Amino acid sequence: MVNLGELVQCTEVRIGGGFGHGVPGLVRAVREETRRLARPGTPLPAVRRATAGARASLHGALLLARGATITG
């Protein structure tokens, strides 16, 4: 997460899908590890739970099947 955040300079990371919603404490653990591993002075992305819930993968597959472009 830390390397990706530095590379793409994202301000927010969403964790979702069945795995993201099925593992208790995952979002909190990722947030804490991101904070722990970040280099001093590096802006951290906000780590949040995705709003699409456990069906996020299904929504993404439907968008791809319809030829939609995912932006964000």
* DSSP annotation of 54: G
Q: Which amino acid is at 70?
A: I
The 10s digit of each residue's pLDDT in 22-70 is 889 999 999 999 999 988 988 888 999 888 777 777 877 888 888 866 5
What pLDDT is recorded for position 72? Answer: 53
And the tokens for 70? 């995912």
Q: How far apart are CA 62 and CA 55, in angstroms?
A: 11
Nearest to 16 by CA among 53, 41, 63: 53
Dist CA 4 CA 7 (whole Å): 5
- With vertex at residue 44, the alpha carbon angle to CA 39 and CA 45, rounded to the nearest 5 degrees, is 145
